[in-house]
Each structure stands twice: as structure tokens, then as C-alpha cells.
């Protein structure tokens, strides 16, 4: 199983690098397929049949990709700022609801499941494209590293010191010690990045330059919290429908939703912060 997971991850990394090398449209097209797969899996969890789910996912992602292809993204900054602000607030509410119901979980209606799917996934996709547009792959990778760093740090910190369950009714393996480890390690890593890396298109360098040390740390902590919210949200949806993985599209990893759940809240939040500085700063 480990070899299968490593092989799949390696193939995905190669594809990711190739799409960046081939140019913005190739990157946007491949990412549209990935986010479309996330949306398809999410809609299936909401009870939509495979054909309607595939049609909705295809229409939404083709529409978003077409907007990017037409060069509309620079003229959508205020729209993205407004939508991503609402999405970020919604994810924050979800996070507090997850913590409040951590002992017994809570039900999610079909309407809520479907509405969040068709709103959150396109928002994350357009946010990814906007970050790529203004800061190239470095900006995108620096945002994704917040998610990946938090996930890896939480896993190893939880394995080493985890005793107190964070949300036992939603995701029994997550612990407060793991979350604390994620916060500490991610913040230290990006502080060191800021001190030793002068590139302005690194997301965390941008927020430390524009917002200062204190608010930069606050933003980082908030984004780690949002990544946890996305992870818990998918875990809860899977528990409600009684499945282990969102699909089997990625051998050894489950589905695209399984791999990108924590990314979905973080990308809109990062874009909203950048747009707030650009538009209102």
C-alpha cells in the first residue's frame, strides 16, 4: 500500500510540474479536471447520481476555465473578494460548529451538502488561478505548503504526543496535540522562510511585508485552522454516508476530495487576504 501511495503521489507531482512548464492554460486545464473531480465526489456524497453529478461538475469547471481563458480574471477582483470573503466566513462557521459538536457530530442536510459543493469548489479553483496569475507557481506552492505542512506536522505530532481527541465523533485520529504541533511547526517554518528567502511572490513573505509580524502570524494560524476545518468537514460527510474514501480515482489515496479537502478553505482565504491588501491597502 505504501508503495502504491508513493507511486501515485510521484505521478501527480510529475503531472503538476509538467503543467506548470507547459504554461498557464495547461495548468488551468489540468487543475480544472482535478477540482472537477473533487466537485463530482462531493456531489455524489450529497446523493446526486453519477450522471447529474458529472454534468454539474463539468458545466461548473468548464465555465470557470473559460473565464480564465477569456482573460476575465483581472476584471473579477472585486467579485472574487466578495465571494471569497463570504466563503471564508462560511468555513469559519463550519469550523466552530465542528468543534462545538465534536463529541456527537451533527447532521448535514442534502441541500447544505450540495450548496457548499457548488460554491466552495469553484471558489477554490478561481482562487488558485488568481494566485497563479499574480505570483506564478511560487505563490501557489507557498499557499499549498501551509496545508501540506500543517497536515504532515499534525500527523507526526499526534503520533508522538497525541492524547486528547479533537473531534472524536468526526475524526477520531485527530488530537489537540497534533493541531498544536501543526501551528508551531508551520509558523516557525514560514518565519524562517521569511528571514532566509527574499522572494516577494512567496505568500507568507507577502503577508509579513504587508501586515507585519503579529498579523502575519495571526493569518497563518487562521489558515491552519481553516485547513483543519476542511479536513474535518470531509471526514464528517464520509461518516454520514458511511464511506471510507470519496472515490478510488487515486490508487492508494482514495479520491481527489480526500487529497484536497484541507486545501479548499485555504485557497479562497489566501486570495481574499491578497485582494484585501491590493484593493483596500
**Spatial separation of the C-alpha atoms in residues 110 and 108, rounded to whole Å:** 7
63 touches 126 (CB < 8 A): no
**Spatial separation of the C-alpha atoms in residues 74 and 42, rounded to whole Å:** 29
Tell me: pLDDT of 15 over 90: no
Distances in Å between the Cα of 164 and the Cα atoms of 147, 232, 273 are 22, 16, 32
Residue span of the structural domain in which 238 resides:
2-280
Give 82's pLDDT tier (boundaries 50, 70, 90): very high
Phi, psi for 250 (deg, rounded to 5): -115, 100
**Spatial separation of the C-alpha atoms in residues 276 and 280, rounded to whole Å:** 5
Of the candidate ranges 70-74, 125-129, 226-230, the one whose mean pLDDT is the lowest = 70-74
C-alpha cell at 201: 511572490
Tell me: pLDDT of 26 over 80: yes
Give 1's pLDDT tier (boundaries 50, 70, 90): low
Tell me: pLDDT of 3 over 80: no
Mean pLDDT for the chain overall: 92
Give 6's pLDDT tier (boundaries 50, 70, 90): confident
- The predicted pLDDT at position 148 comes to 92
pLDDT tens readout for residues 143-155 = 999 999 999 999 8
**Spatial separation of the C-alpha atoms in residues 281 and 38, rounded to whole Å:** 34
Distances in Å between the Cα of 160 and the Cα atoms of 25, 155, 175, 187, 252 are 43, 9, 11, 19, 24
Count of domains in the chain? 1
pLDDT tens readout for residues 92-144 = 999 999 999 988 887 888 889 999 999 999 999 999 999 999 998 999 999 99
Q: Per-residue pLDDT averaged across 161-172, rounded?
A: 90
**Spatial separation of the C-alpha atoms in residues 39 and 31, rounded to whole Å:** 12
Distances in Å between the Cα of 219 and the Cα atoms of 17, 43, 112, 162 are 28, 30, 27, 25
Amino acid at each position: 500500500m505504501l508503495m502504491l501511495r508513493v507511486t501515485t503521489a510521484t505521478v501527480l507531482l510529475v503531472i503538476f510540474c509538467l503543467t506548470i512548464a507547459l504554461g498557464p492554460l495547461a495548468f488551468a486545464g489540468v487543475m480544472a479536471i482535478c477540482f472537477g473531480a473533487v466537485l463530482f465526489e462531493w456531489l455524489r456524497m450529497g446523493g446526486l447520481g453519477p450522471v447529474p453529478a458529472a454534468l454539474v461538475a463539468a458545466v461548473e469547471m468548464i465555465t470557470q476555465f473559460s473565464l480564465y481563458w477569456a482573460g476575465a480574471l483581472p476584471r473579477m477582483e472585486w467579485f472574487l473578494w466578495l465571494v471569497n470573503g463570504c466563503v471564508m466566513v462560511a468555513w469559519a462557521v463550519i469550523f466552530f460548529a465542528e468543534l462545538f459538536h465534536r463529541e456527537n457530530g451533527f447532521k448535514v442536510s442534502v441541500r447544505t451538502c450540495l450548496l457548499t459543493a457548488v460554491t466552495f469548489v469553484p471558489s477554490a479553483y478561481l482562487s488558485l488561478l488568481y494566485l497563479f496569475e499574480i505570483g506564478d507557481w511560487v505563490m501557489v506552492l507557498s499557499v499549498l505548503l501551509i496545508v501540506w505542512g500543517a497536515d504532515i506536522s499534525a500527523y507526526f505530532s499526534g503520533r508522538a504526543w497525541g492524547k486528547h481527541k479533537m473531534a472524536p465523533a468526526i475524526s477520531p485520529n485527530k488530537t489537540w496535540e497534533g493541531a498544536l504541533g501543526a501551528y508551531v511547526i508551520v509558523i516557525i517554518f514560514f518565519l524562517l522562510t521569511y528571514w532566509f528567502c527574499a522572494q516577494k511572490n512567496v505568500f507568507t513573505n507577502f503577508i509579513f511585508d504587508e501586515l507585519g509580524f503579529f498579523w502575519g502570524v495571526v493569518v497563518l494560524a487562521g489558515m491552519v485552522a481553516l485547513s483543519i476545518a476542511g479536513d474535518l468537514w470531509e471526514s464528517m460527510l464520509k461518516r454520514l454516508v458511511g464511506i471510507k474514501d470519496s472515490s478510488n480515482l487515486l490508487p492508494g489515496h482514495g479520491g481527489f476530495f480526500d487529497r484536497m479537502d484541507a486545501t479548499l478553505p485555504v485557497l479562497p482565504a489566501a486570495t481574499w487576504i491578497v485582494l484585501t491588501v491590493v484593493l483596500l491597502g
